[in-house]
Structure 1
Amino acid sequence: MLVRLTPRQRFDILVSQFEPAVRAAFLDAIDDITSNIVLRRIVERLERGDINGAVQAMHLDEAAFRPLDEAIRQAFNGGGVATVEGMPTLRDPSGHRIVVRWDARNLAAETWLRDHSSQLITDIVTDQQVAVRTALEAGLARGDNPTRTALDVVGRVNRVTGTREGGLVGLTSVQGEYVARARQELLSGEPDQLRNYLSRARRDKRFDAAVRKAIEARKPVPADAVGKIAGRYADGLLKLRADTIGLHETFAALGASKDIAFRQQIEKGKVRADTVTKTWRHTPQEHPRIQHIAMQGQKVQFDQPFIAPDGTAIPYPHAPGVPARHTLGCKCFAEYKIDFVAQLVR
């Protein structure tokens, strides 16, 4: 017996298909950057006090993130195709079937892809350069030698995997500050600061015993161990960043392509805008947004926005320009429906 999937099930399938690819593409870009780093060039520039030169030697440029750009494009196009394929059969007043197709070359589609991807990658690179420059300056100001300073930023090569681990490449500037503070806590020898490190959710708990030993002795964690512990903490934050980008960019691409797919059919005269409605669907999760729970089931016309309890107008979940408080980590989606009777009558 053929089982018809619900809108939520269809959406979940799309997310499971594209989210891992977007997350992996981001990590591939970071791996490409770190694997092409020549440590000696960075150290030489730091020895001369040339921070800008050291940053440039890491080649943190937008071209490295083309895999991420391509993964988002595939999610966007996949969402558009799935949207038109999921539309029930449309017929004109004469009973003839109306053909609907996803047009990836449509102006609105191309504009969203170009603007969204370019802005995302520019923001990633710019923020990354700030994080790296800040960490290099802090390392030298702390009195670390250029080699240690560079390794703390670019990571150390794992002899087993041959890849760099524990660096700051790929982290946001805020996450870079988290790593710097964690390092300070471990080196402080102050019980309160050491305990604060133990409250960090993304730490590697395998090192907790060493930190507790330092608390009991009221001494700093040995410097060599601090480098390793802070490195594993940075790895945990990088995984969080990849998970966040994978989820957010997949939902943004799928949400935009669904809305644009309906807009394409309206512009071509195959569907009337006043016969299309959209309903907010909240996805239960561990830490839900109370506002989005309240929006569950909110129904509006196609050309009208959803209204959050705080007054924010949201065209659809993850729409461009919507504040981050309503997008980051959000797993909501919009369910679109066509009133077939109204479509035929009008």
Structure 2
Amino acid sequence: MTFDELLQQYEPRVASAFRETIETIKSNILIKTVVERLERGDITGAIAAIQFEPEAFATLELALREAFNAGGVSFVQSLPSLVAADGTRVLFQFGVRNLEAERLIREQSSTLVTNITEDQRQALRMAFEAGLSQGKNPTATALDVIGRVNRVTGRREGGTIGLSSRQVDFITRAEENLLSGDPASMKSYLDLKTRDKRFDRSVTKAIREGRAVDAELVKRMIGRLSDNNIRLRGEMIGLEETRSALFSVRDNAIRQQIGNGKIAAQDVTKHWLHSASEHPRMQHIEMAARYKAEGVPLDQAFVASDGTLLMFPHAPGIPAKHKIGCRCRLEYRIDYIAAGLRRYRARAA
């Protein structure tokens, strides 16, 4: 399976696992408990009642592990066959239970889930506080956060559960702008890429008539905006985390072959390849021009023009400016001629 085929298979699977987790969390919320705690002014208790816990993300972690393992197996299968010094064929294999491989995927999954859950608690607090400060009653505030049940589908729609704290702030401002009656603020809604364009005519009419958008209509508009942003966040998690897993496991897989004595580190170079994207990073284009042909040794980092060191695209710990939305690739090249000469000399000796 090629790298592109792996992405096509696992990016949507990881994104779907995130969305399914959010749906499960929302469907198990007892809104009565949330409302009662908000009525007492107990926002911390209301957040706890949502039960947005790390254990809920087992499906997401499993999807990432499957992508990781499939990436490792696929990579070693793509390596050309070699003949060892004793004349036997070298069999490249990926150890899914390799201790370092296990550590890598466990650490990636744990970091992702921790970041999601910690940020979500902050996002929930922001959303509850914003609703109550706007004078909404506890029930309306809870429904704005949890979402409202669609009587046709029986599923909760809208709400801010699953959104990042930045997205909650973004959506809160959008709601305030629509209710403000200020033409400039209301027009800003029409620039949002994740809005439901079916409501544009209503916004334009309200602006023309010099009034705010009807409050009930705003609820529906914000609900659609929230749903679209949940979908967008799932897609971004699918893209970022799947690529991180695949690049990480390719690096681990090549090191497993070195550790097993099947190839030598000195024979491996890695090469940065830039892939076209909607908003290309000039630094990555420059790295591709600099490193595509010559490459760097396996244990050496690529150096961006701002001085950032990158072992490979989407490597753990690299700054977001070099990671979010990056579609660059990495190619490992093995000097089989040098390896063959070394084996020949070993037999001759």
TM-score band (shorter)? over 0.9
Sequence identity percentage: 50
Tell me, yes or no, if structure 1 residue 278 matches structure 2 residue 263. Answer: no
Select the residue among 291, 306, 320 that pairs with 1:310. Answer: 306
Select the residue among 203, 208, 224 that pairs with 2:200. Answer: 208
Does the residue aligned with 2:333 lie in a helix, a strand or coil?
strand
Select the residue among 114, 123, 128 that pairs with 1:136. Answer: 128
Distance 1:293 1:255 in 2: 19
The one-letter code of the counterpart of 2:24 is D
Partner of 2:65: 73
**Structure 1 stretches of 4+ moved >6 Å:** none
Distance 2:71 2:324 in 1: 20
Distance 1:291 1:157 in 2: 47
The one-letter code of the counterpart of 1:110 is E
Superposed displacement of residue 125, structure 1: 0.5
Tell me, yes or no, if structure 1 residue 320 matches structure 2 residue 312. Answer: no
Partner of 1:185: 177
TM-score normalised by structure 2 residue count: 0.95
The one-letter code of the counterpart of 2:176 is Q
Superposed displacement of residue 300, structure 1: 1.1
Superposed displacement of residue 106, structure 1: 1.3
Tell me, yes or no, if structure 1 residue 107 matches structure 2 residue 99. Answer: yes
Tell me, yes or no, if structure 1 residue 33 matches structure 2 residue 22. Answer: no
Distance 2:178 2:188 in 1: 9
Distance 2:42 2:306 in 1: 48
For residues 14-58 of structure 1, give each alpha carbon's deviation from its aligned partner in whole angstroms, at most 9, with x where no partner exists.
111111110100001101101111111111111111111111111
Distance 1:191 1:20 in 2: 39
The one-letter code of the counterpart of 1:226 is V
For residues 285-332 of structure 1, give each alpha carbon's deviation from its aligned partner in whole angstroms, at most 9, with x where no partner exists.
222212112222511111111111222111011111111111111111
Partner of 1:3: none
Distance 2:86 2:49 in 1: 67
Distance 1:304 1:48 in 2: 57
Distance 1:147 1:290 in 2: 49
Tell me, yes or no, if structure 1 residue 123 matches structure 2 residue 115. Answer: yes
The one-letter code of the counterpart of 1:340 is Y
The one-letter code of the counterpart of 1:184 is E
Q: What does 1:126-165 correspond to in 2, within 5 Å?
A: 126-165=118-157
Distance 2:29 2:16 in 1: 20
Distance 1:129 1:177 in 2: 14
Select the residue among 207, 214, 217 that pairs with 2:209. Answer: 217
Superposed displacement of residue 216, structure 1: 1.2
Superposed displacement of residue 94, structure 1: 3.3
Partner of 1:4: none
Partner of 1:45: 37
Question: Where in structure 1 are there 5+ consecutive unaligned residues?
Answer: 1-8
Distance 2:63 2:86 in 1: 42
Distance 1:216 1:38 in 2: 42
Tell me, yes or no, if structure 1 residue 248 matches structure 2 residue 248. Answer: no
The one-letter code of the counterpart of 1:301 is P
Distance 2:29 2:340 in 1: 62
Does the residue aligned with 1:57 lie in a helix, a strand or coil?
helix
RMSD: 1.1
For residues 262-299 of structure 1, give each alpha carbon's deviation from its aligned partner in whole angstroms, at most 9, with x where no partner exists.
00111111110010111111111222212112222511
Distance 1:302 1:30 in 2: 39
The one-letter code of the counterpart of 1:109 is A
Question: Where in structure 2 are there 5+ consecutive unaligned residues?
Answer: 343-349
For residues 100-135 of structure 1, give each alpha carbon's deviation from its aligned partner in whole angstroms, at most 9, with x where no partner exists.
210111121011111111111011001011101111
Does the residue aligned with 1:336 lie in a helix, a strand or coil?
strand
